[in-house]
Structure 1
């Protein structure tokens, strides 16, 4: 990456590592530990170089276990790819590896007609990757299998705000409510006027005409649902309704209008300045859904993966990933350690989530 605006495609390739892991893969599959997973990565995902030109763009590592199992791990810099683009990269790489190049559609690198180049120097994941913040964070995986998730959707949909929540809306409503409850128990003198949930919404299928599936870059928009101090006791149906409404705004007309002339980034700057001046104005928890992306279709010639996960720790964020059957969801939740203790004990979390994959 030459600067904050352009990429030099110099064909230098990417770092590729092969590693031998002393141990059995089953210990990771049943109850993955973030510290174990980090050792399988080709680089430290939290080590963001201040020099843009020296930042690792993409790196891969293949890990061979004693049991004969194999784990392929990839790190891609978020500045050049969102989760959809990463999934496209992996499935295309896998198709080439097994000789199925006819399955690869044309890759599109230029979306500047929709998203004109912007000065991105003030926007990065640095605020979510600060060492002092991450040292206070605990990351855990919560598994919502297909049967529990079906029951959760039925409960969340029982109300006037939203009749048929999606899997992501149901899980996000449950997690958002549990996060607010955990934070409230630890902070009896709550001063935040608004509790907000942000959720990344993919735009490729929402644009008219739709963007090509293999559009590389960050083609998503952050939607925000707000819950005021008076509304903090909303039930799951109410929270899901707010999430659904905020996601629904992300249509073709809205996106084209807000991105015209850099309006979206100006909005983010203004919000950032407001929160900087008044940190008690809003508390934010983020959701990033990787569901319905074809990670489980990445067949390198040995068959499709048994499990797909993440080893990324962010500040107060939940990453949602499909289970292998495509019906359940794994939620990777990062919270301050004192909040995580309360979160794990939340009645809703205890009722619908588990910590281990079924054997």
Structure 2
């Protein structure tokens, strides 16, 4: 088992105490089924070879909505009913999500059993959470779900209602069903149905398995899990101005992205922490998921639903002088540029699948070593998560859920040009992280 606790650069003991004492009481739990039955000819959906590589974990995000002054009790129940009804209508189009995964046969039984929908009541104010410490133990209870049992729902939604009328809506999804791009498409479709109905929606393409059939790779992209370690989840905001300063400190005559600049700084911080922990400079292994949509020159439908991602990995031996920011920026920039060039030259789906499997195999082998400092990134930047508006306004904040793995999630922040870095790591490393001069200088 793992335990998550929270951290901010500065702690407010009074707020922290109120947050940890918040009670979350489940009011109801039900299965939401598609509003129309799935046709018999669509009842079985094979997973793709890329789906097969994904970990048997649930990933997800939380959307935080402030009260708008109209949230009387009857309005809350109206919203809950609207969410349930629109989810049911959306599942008619995204019908595999209402099914169940048959692990032995590697397919989804599209049996319309439904998505789990939980309504919970929180005895606190949403502002206490937004202005106080982000306690991931509390965040975990806002998206609580017992994973691992056979026959589990593939998607779990939890609507948390605060005393002020504010809402936190969480969504967890089984990774073998779809990547972030797929689930962001689902969320965008759900809010569209909630506001205006299904007439604006186009049916997704669910047949990636015909392009990338399962061939039994024997590889799994599960990140190194930390058992028996007290983990922390920490949020750091890199403003647009801070990222501009980072770019200026990078290599001259190189056009670098916001993600590359922030990733390089965090790699520098993680190298410093690793040296303090181990007493020496270990080689750095940077791992990042890369979306293949728009990268490969193959006839893949733009509305393809499922996993269409690859893992990119680069290894860097640290000089004795320590980590150099410019060098780390160049390393990460080249990692992405080289991967994009390789995938852009692919001529057929079989070659693409082979390359994705080779990348997965390289990742699985390299992260096994105890002699490297592994830094796992996932960038959600560029996905319009702050546009998830069910009809009562855009979210005040979007976050990921805590998982038992040392990793960094990058999201576009609500402020123009900024990036939120959500960092999961051990309690021991957190002490070093919050004191790092680069974190203090560039993150708020």
With the shorter chain as reference, the TM-score category is: 0.7 to 0.9
2:227 aligned with 1:131:
yes
State the SS of the aligned residue for 1:151.
Answer: helix
Q: Does 1:95 align with 2:192?
A: yes
Instruction: Report if the CA contact (8 A) 1:182-1:340 is conserved.
Output: no
Matched, 1:297 2:394: no
Cα separation, 2, equivalents of 1:100 and 1:326: 31
CA distance in 2, matches of 1:255, 1:63: 47
Does the CA contact (< 8 Å) of 1:17 and 1:42 recur in 2?
no
The structure 1 residue matched to 2:370, chosen from 279, 293, 312, is: 279
Which moved further from structure 2: 319-328 or 70-79?
319-328
Aligned to 1:357: none
In structure 1, what is the equivalent of residue 411 of structure 2? Answer: 321
C-alpha separation in 2, matches of 1:108 and 1:274: 34
Which range is displaced more, 307-316 or 99-108?
Answer: 99-108
Q: Residues 265 and 438 of structure 2 are in contact (CA less than 8 Å); yes or no, is this contact kept in structure 1?
A: yes
Structure 2: which 5+ runs fail to align? 1-100
2:142 is aligned to 40
Secondary structure of the 1:229 match is coil
User: CA 1:166/1:274 → structure 2, altered by over 3 Å: closer, same or farther?
Assistant: closer
Change (3 A) 1:24 1:262: same
Deviation, 1:267, is: 5.3
**Secondary structure of the corresponding residue to residue 340 of structure 1:** helix
Q: Residue 143 of structure 1 aligns with which residue?
A: 237
Does residue 246 of structure 1 match 2:335?
A: yes
Residue of structure 2 aligned with 1:14, choices 105, 109, 115: 115
After TM superposition, the runs of 4+ consecutive aligned structure 1 residues lying more than 6 A away are none
Q: 1:181 to 1:64 in 2, by over 3 A?
A: same
Q: Distance in 1 between matches of 2:126 and 2:345?
A: 47
Where 1:230 maps in the other structure, the secondary structure is: coil
Q: Which residue of the partner structure matches residue 247 of structure 2?
A: 153
Partner Cα separation in structure 1 for residue 310 and residue 387 of structure 2: 25
| The 10-residue stretch of structure 1 (212-221 or 14-23) with the greater mean CA deviation from structure 2 | 212-221
RMSD: 2.6
Q: Which residue of 1 aligns with 2:39?
A: none
SS at 2:433's partner residue?
helix
CA gap of 1:195–1:2, structure 2 versus 1, over 3 A, is same
Structure 1 Cα separation of the partners of residues 243 and 441 of structure 2: 10
State the match for 1:333 in structure 2: 423
Matched pairs, number: 339
- 1:138 Cα deviation (Å)? 2.0
| 1:302-357 CA distance string (max 9 Å, x none) | 12222111122342210011112452111011222222211221111111111xxx
CA gap of 1:185–1:210, structure 2 versus 1, over 3 A, is: farther
Contact 2:310 2:356 in 1 (8 A): no
1:113 to partner: Cα distance: 4.7
TM-aligned CA distance change 1:211 to 1:257, over 3 Å? closer
Q: CA deviation at 1:225?
A: 2.2
Q: What SS does the aligned partner of 2:319 have?
A: helix
| Residues 311, 359 of structure 2: 8 Å contact kept | no
Match of 1:105 among 202, 213, 218: 202
1:308 aligned partner: 398
Instruction: Give ranges in structure 1 of 5+ residues lacking alignment.
Output: 355-359
Which residue pairs with 1:220 in the alignment?
309
Q: How does 1:55-134 map to 2 (within 5 A)?
A: 55-119=152-216, 122-123=219-220, 125=222, 127-132=223-228
Shift of 1:266: 5.0
Instruction: State the Cα distance separating 1:142 from its structure 2 match.
Output: 0.8
Compute the displacement of 1:151 (Å): 2.0
Q: Aligned with 2:169: secondary structure?
A: strand
Q: Would you say 1:178 and 2:269 are equivalent positions? A: yes
Q: CA deviation at 1:247?
A: 0.9
Q: CA deviation at 1:43?
A: 1.2
User: How far, CA to CA, are the matches of 1:310 and 1:274 in structure 2?
Assistant: 26
Q: Kindly name which structure, 1 or 2, has the bigger radius of gyration based on alpha carbons.
A: 2
Which 10-residue stretch deviates more, 174-183 or 316-325?
A: 316-325
Bigger shift: 233-242 or 252-261? 252-261
Matches of 2:255 and 2:211 in 1, distance apart?
A: 32
Structure number with the higher strand fraction is 2
Q: Distance in 1 between matches of 2:224 and 2:165?
A: 36
TM-score under structure 1 normalisation?
0.85
Q: TM-score of the superposition, structure 2-length normalised?
A: 0.70
Match of 2:296 in 1: 207
